[in-house]
Amino acid sequence: AQSVTQLGSHVSVSEGALVLLRCNYSSSVPPYLFWYVQYPNQGLQLLLKYTSAATLVKGINGFEAEFKKSETSFHLTKPSAHMSDAAEYFCAVGGKTYKYIFGTGTRLKVLA
């Protein structure tokens, strides 16, 4: 069965520093890989998605993620963190099992 592992339930970075949130998927390459963001008291919003068209995927708010099949990874990065990036981030996979599976989430804290 598919699963998603997010390393680090909490990540703290300084404002202006690189953001790196890690995600690894198991089993075969899923058709879709996603990163979602959840701000307090809100639903999940799509940041970006991978659909095999390109290994480097650019999303909203300056985020991007790189699909690496050899490492079964789909890490999320942003060159320079902003205070408004503080939120919880979820990696997810979607496949032909008709289920979208989410990781346990990483809470990003941005320090002034």
What is the Cα–Cα distance from 29 to 51, expressed in whole angstroms?
A: 10
Supply the minimum distance, in Å, between the C-beta of residue 112 and other proteins: 26
Residue span 6-45 as binding mask against other proteins, x where in contact by CB under 8 A, dash where not: -------------------------xx-x-x----xxxxx
Choose which of 2, 59, 95, 107 interacts with other proteins (CB under 8 A).
Answer: 95
Regarding 84 and contact with other proteins (CB under 8 A), the answer is: no
The two three-digit tokens of residue 48, written as one number: 């970006």
Q: How far apart, in whole angstroms, are the C-alpha atoms of residue 88 and residue 37?
A: 6
Q: What b-and-e string marks burial along 46-68, b requiring 16 or more CB atoms within 10 Å of the CB?
A: ebbebeeeeeebebeeebbbebe
| Among positions 105, 106, 108, 110, the unique one binding other proteins when judged by CB under 8 A | 105
Which residues contact other proteins by CB under 8 A? 31-32, 34, 36, 41-46, 49, 51, 90, 94-105
